[in-house]
Amino acid sequence: MTNTPDAPDVTLPDEISTPVSAAELPALRRRIQAVLIATQILGGLGIAIGVALAAVLAKDVSGTEALSGLASTATVAGPALLAMPLAALMASRGRRAGLVLAYLLGAVGAVVVVLGAAVESFPLLLVGLVGFGAGSSANLAARFAAADLAEPDRRARAISTVVWATTIGAVLGPNIAAPAGESVSGLGIPATAGPFVWAAGVFVVSAAVVALLLRPDPLLTARALADSGAGERPEGRSLRAGMRAVRESPKARLALVTVAASHTAMVSIMSMTPVALTHHGAGIQLIGLVISGHIAGMYAFSPLMGWLSDRLGRTAVIGLAVGLISVAALIAGTAGPSHGQTALGLFVLGLGWSAGLVSGSALLTDSVPQAARAAVQGLSDFVMNTAAGVGGLAAGLIVSQAGYGPLNAIAACLLLPMAALAVRGALRKA
């Protein structure tokens, strides 16, 4: 390999004496990004197949609409429960170990979902959905893996490119939910559980791709480069150090609130939209199309959000996220029996989520020392998914008691702290 006098080689601690020079970093970035894109496509497919009908499946097994919101709560509980252990694992052993574990847990969870549906056990179904949600942990963590080696002025675009890759699998997933359901006919498995059979296989393939191809590990590579230049100490990588880094940085706090509020508002509205559509006569195929449009909004335009974040600044795109999600809540909340208006609202909701996730994730990575990033990123995913889990649970109760319109209004109010912190940050800059 080529060495340069001003860029000494760095030997990675988890690989077999693999020196990396500055001249080789661009090619390494491209290769790691290609692997992450492939796993995002697969992971997005596995997640979207199941998420499209999770609330409907929960309603069928439980026999009550009020408990249907527990499906989304369970799927985000998995990432919430796994976020901190996953962060600790990545901090010590790198991205590869964490991503493989998350995908395998997602596969096991999908199998348990199928068993719960087959025996009509709602508690077992919920346990399975918690495990299934671990697959989302892998896809969420991959965006930070993309940022590990990115140049600072291209960090948001690196994150958004990997997020964008989810579009292919995520849009395809809901539309193959019906064939996946038909594939289990005659096996004693409900059609709404069929997608989880397929999801289990997809997650196993994703784990294999990461285990075999994500080499050298991007986090450990970035850390080795930082250690060679800045002498960062291992104790700075602990979860406690990550929490301290967030407390000491107003920008990190804004980023944390942005990601959590955007995700919670999105999950609350999206999770109950299939139930609202069934009230107005929509079938599985139409629900799949609406959710596909929503997911396209979430992922397909993320490169634009990344470009805007790098060019206009993180705070400006956070403001855009507030506006888009608020408009989406207004459109969807007043749609009534109009399936087209509901679809439009869900598409705009996806755009708002994308703006919040990309800008917030980039700002979070910008705002803390390299050594603490894995811990801070894990804390972010923990807060984000815990808040969304509570939101999903509340969403089912709100819809059963007040309706889909009030749910959208309440979800929009969740953006107020995010907007206030963004305004404060903008005023501080002025």
Q: Greater confidence, 53 or 411?
A: 411
Retrieve residue 367's tokens: 């705002």
Give pLDDT tens digits for 403-419.
899 999 999 999 998 99
The pLDDT value given to residue 320: 96
Task: Label residue 397 exposed, middle or buried (CB < 10 Å: 0-12, 13-18, 19+).
Answer: middle
Residue 4 lies in a domain: no
**39 lies in a domain?**
yes
User: Does position 195 have pLDDT exceeding 90, yes or no?
Assistant: no
**241 pLDDT more than 60:** yes
In the chain, the number of structural domains is 1
pLDDT digit string, tens, across residues 201-219: 999 999 999 999 998 999 9
Residue 2 lies in a domain: no
pLDDT classification of 3: cutoffs 50, 70, 90: very low
Return phi, psi of residue 369, to 5°: -60, 155
- Indicate yes or no: pTM above 0.85: no
- Closest Cα partner for 122 from 131, 112, 111? 112
CB 167 within 8 A of CB 292: no
Average pLDDT of the chain?
Answer: 85
Query: For the segment 89-148, what is each residue's pLDDT rounded down to a tens digit?
Result: 998 889 999 999 999 999 999 999 999 988 889 899 999 999 998 888 888 888 899 899
Report the alpha-carbon distance of residue 302 to residue 320 in Å, rounded. Answer: 13
For 188: left if phi > 0, alpha if psi spans -120 to 50, otherwise beta; the answer is left
3-state secondary structure the chain: CCCECCECCEECCCCCCCEECHHHHHHHHHHHHHHHHHHHHHHHHHHHHHHHHHHHHHHHHHCCHHHCHHHHHHHHHHHHHHHHHHHHHHHHHCHHHHHHHHHHHHHHHHHHHHHHHHCCCHHHHHHHHHHHCHHHHHHHHHHHHHHCCCCHHHHHHHHHHHHHHHHHHHHHHHHCHHHHHHCCCCCCCCHHHHHHHHHHHHHHHHHHHHHHHCCCCHHHHHHHHHHHHHCCCHHHHCHHHHHHHHHCCHHHHHHHHHHHHHHHHHHHHHHHHHHHHHHCCCCHHHHHHHHHHHHHHHHCCHHHHHHHHHHHCHHHHHHHHHHHHHHHHHHHHCCCCCHHHHHHHHHHHHHHHHHHHHHHHHHHHHCCCHHHHHHHHHHHHHHHHHHHHHHHHHHHHHHHHCCHHHHHHHHHHCCHHHHHHHHHHHHHHC
Place of tokens 């919670």: 264
Contacts of 26 (CB under 8 A, 6+ apart): none
C-alpha to C-alpha distance for 405 and 424, rounded to whole angstroms: 30
* Mean pLDDT value of segment 25-29: 88
Domain at 334, CATH number:
1.20.1250.20
CA dist 332 → 69, 252, 284, 426 (Å): 18, 31, 19, 30
Its domain, for residue 88, covers 22-429
Contact 418, 262 (CB under 8 A): yes
Domain assignment of residue 221, yes or no: yes
C-alpha 428/C-alpha 425 separation (Å) is: 5
| Residues forming beta bridges with residue 49, ordered by sequence position | none
Domain assignment present for 10: no
Each residue of 146-155: pLDDT tens digit?
899 888 889 9
Question: Is 14 domain-assigned?
Answer: no
The CA distance from 134 to 136, in Å, is 5
Residue 43 has pLDDT above 70, yes or no: yes
Q: Give per-residue pLDDT as tens, 159-170.
A: 999 989 887 877
Is the pLDDT reported for residue 6 higher than 70? Answer: no
Q: 182-186, 314-318, 369-373, 395-399: lowest mean pLDDT where? A: 182-186
Beta bridge partners of 19: 11
Q: Is residue 11 part of a domain?
A: no
pLDDT in tens, 294-324: 988 988 899 999 999 999 999 999 999 999 9
- Is 210 part of a structural domain of the chain? yes
Gap between the Cα atoms of 353 and 265, Å rounded: 8
pLDDT at 192 over 80: no
13 or 83, higher pLDDT: 83
